Amino acid sequence: MGAEFVPLSLPPILIGTFAAIACALPGNFLLLRRQALIGDAISHVVLPGIVAAFLVTGTISTGPMLIGAMVAAVLTVILIELVRRLGNIEPGAAMGVVFTAMFAGGVLLLELSDTSSVHLDVQHALYGNLESLIWLDATGWGSLLDAQALRYLPVELPRIAITLVAVALFMAVLWRPLKISTFDEGFARTLGLPTGLIGLSLVTVAALAAVAAFDAVGSIIVIAMFICPPAAARMMTNRLERQVAWSVLFATLSAVLGYVLAGYGPLWLGGQDAVSAAGMIATVSGVILGIAALYGPCRSRTGAPEGA
């Protein structure tokens, strides 16, 4: 069994899971700060970032593309904060203004410049390419201990694993400042906490997670994982620590179940082909959110926002 599972299914499942958790972790705080849309915003500005990176470097290799996307994401995050603070408008509107403008700029940039030779595949951007992230050098579980085979792991796996570790470390170290400044920003400032910097570093870390995950699994998973697991987790508990734990569980469940259902679900139903794993993972996370909304123990709360 391992002979087939390890090269073909293990890498995509791990990559999907790590990407899902890396997005869900900061998603918890973004949700509580009414900034959950930032995942959506970041995945839109990846396009101008990639085009700009191509124009500057003239290559389509992954490194410059990722750096371009990251620069665009961080620029967006700073612009959103600027618009929000200078214009004194709510975060949702600030995000909407900035990311649509950046995306539109990216489209124009793409059309005006000579990028026709570059294959920027929209479908790839949306669904990613999870199924193609296979590890051909693996022959079975034993390959996990084989240094020679490990060298040929899909490069996305170590990349997203390192990102996940960085995101988790950030959350662990800044847990208390994040919690206090999310709950009561004014009080946090009287403690001497740099609340502006904390908010900016949170969205920057979210941008890092989004770009790394986007590269591996596409924007649909990124958008879904910023919102669905934390939102479902909020309905399971009234404690932030437990909410984060639930969101990790839901993100993992979505990734694993989604991948398996995408690969085998259609066959079980008598169909022929597998469906997109990214689409199925996002769908599973949505179903989990639906179930939590219907049966979660903390779904109806006094003081909860209207309609929540």
Partner 1 sequence: MLELASTDGHVASDTARAQSPLAVRGMTVSYGEKPAVFSVDMTVKAGSMTAIIGPNGAGKSTLLKACLGIVKPLSGQVEVMGRPLAEMRAKIAYVPQRASVDWDFPTRVIDVVLMGLYREVGLLGRLRGAHIDRARACLDRVGMVAFADRQIGQLSGGQQQRVFLARALAQEADLYLLDEPFAGVDAATEKAIIAVLKSLKAEGKTVVAVHHDLATVGDYFDHVFMINVRRIAEGPVATAFTAETLQEAYGGRLAAAQVDQISAALA
Minimum distance of partner 1 from residue 2's CB (angstroms)? 40
- CA distances, 75 to each of 28, 31, 54, 243, 263 (Å): 22, 21, 17, 30, 38
Q: Which residue has the tokens 């995945």?
A: 43
First to last CA, the chain: 45
Minimum distance of partner 1 from residue 304's CB (angstroms)? 5
Considering beta carbons, is residue 115 or 201 the nearer one to partner 1? 201
Give the residue ranges of DSSP H helices in 113-155: 122-127, 147-150
Task: Name the burial class of residue 272, with classes exposed (0-12), middle (13-18) and buried (19+) by CB atoms within 10 angstroms of its CB.
Answer: exposed
* DSSP SS3 for 266: helix
Minimum distance of partner 1 from residue 118's CB (angstroms)? 45
Give the residue ranges of DSSP H helices in 174-239: 175-183, 185-190, 195-217, 219-234
Considering beta carbons, is residue 31 or 42 the nearer one to partner 1? 31
Q: Which stretch binds partner 1 (CB under 8 A): 17-25, 146-154, 174-182, 284-292?
A: 174-182
- CA distances, 34 to each of 39, 74, 94, 164 (Å): 12, 19, 12, 23
Considering beta carbons, is residue 48 or 230 the nearer one to partner 1? 230
Considering beta carbons, is residue 124 or 239 the nearer one to partner 1? 239
Q: Which stretch binds partner 1 (CB under 8 A): 55-63, 150-158, 171-179, 253-261?
A: 171-179
Return the residues of window 101-140 that contact partner 1 according to CB under 8 A. none
Per CB under 8 A, the list member of 179, 200, 204, 274 interacting with partner 1 is 179
Extract the tokens encoding 136.
């051909």
CB 261 within 8 A of CB 278: no
Per CB under 8 A, the list member of 117, 119, 145, 192 interacting with partner 1 is 192
| Position 183 contacts partner 1 (CB under 8 A) | yes
Torsions phi, psi for 146 (to 5 deg) = -100, 110
- Please state, in angstroms and rounded to a whole number, the distance separating the CA atoms of residues 182 and 279: 32
Number of residues that bind partner 1 (CB under 8 A): 30
Site string for partner 1, 69-108 (x = CB under 8 A): ----------------------------------------
| Position 189 contacts partner 1 (CB under 8 A) | yes
Return the residues of window 286-305 that contact partner 1 according to CB under 8 A. 298, 301-305
Residues that bind partner 1 (CB under 8 A): 32, 173-174, 176-177, 179-180, 182-184, 186-187, 189-193, 234, 237-240, 243, 298, 301-305, 308
